[in-house]
């Protein structure tokens, strides 16, 4: 389901591509059965073509990667989550207006690093399972 400038993310490459990346990343959490995901995909691909030299664009299938879905509390698809310095700093949920998504990308390019520096680290040892 990914375009040329979009990385297909999964449990195996998530840490390298998002959490440990030197570049910021925006991830579209999706599922194959989500009609709103199909609606948003062409816009996400368009923005990947425009901003892909400065941001990693990735898509993660929430059905195939339930651990990451749970870790970042993804409750519905599509969810767009922006990461800077490996930290989630902004998100949008649902089939938003494409301009809103583009504005989020622009804002995060300008201010994402500041947001990441002021946000809390995620404790990866926390889990809901005993």
Taking only the tens place, the pLDDT of each residue in 87-123 is: 888 899 999 999 999 999 998 888 766 655 655 555 5
Task: Look up the CATH number of domain 6-118.
Answer: 3.40.30.10
Question: How much is the pTM?
Answer: 0.84
| Per-residue confidence band for 124, with pLDDT thresholds at 50, 70 and 90 | low
Given this model, what pLDDT does residue 17 score? 94
Tally Cβ neighbours within 10 Å of residue 49: 14
Alpha-helical runs (H) found in 2-34 = 14
Given this model, what pLDDT does residue 5 score? 87
Beta strand 56-61 pairing with 6-9:
parallel
Calculate the CA 57 to chain-centre distance.
Answer: 7
In the chain, what are the domain boundaries?
6-118
Span 36-88, pLDDT tens digits: 999 999 999 999 999 999 999 999 999 999 999 999 999 999 999 999 888 88
Note whether 47 and 101 are within 8 A (CB).
yes
Given this model, what pLDDT does residue 1 score? 47
Note whether 48 and 57 are within 8 A (CB).
yes
According to DSSP, residue 73 is labeled T
């Amino acid at each position: 389901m990914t375009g040329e400038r979009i990385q297909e993310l999964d449990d195996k490459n998530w840490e390298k591509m998002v959490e440990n990346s030197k570049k910021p990343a925006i991830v579209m959490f999706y599922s194959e059965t989500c009609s709103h995901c199909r609606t948003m995909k062409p816009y996400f691909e368009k923005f990947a073509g425009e901003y892909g030299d400065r941001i990693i664009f990735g898509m993660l299938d929430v059905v195939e990667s339930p651990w990451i879905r749970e870790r970042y509390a993804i409750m519905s698809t599509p969810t767009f989550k922006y990461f800077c310095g490996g930290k989630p700093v902004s998100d949008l949920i649902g089939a938003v207006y494409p301009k809103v998504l583009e504005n989020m990308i622009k804002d995060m390019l300008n201010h994402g690093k500041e947001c990441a520096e002021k946000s809390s680290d995620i404790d990866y040892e926390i889990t809901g399972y005993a």
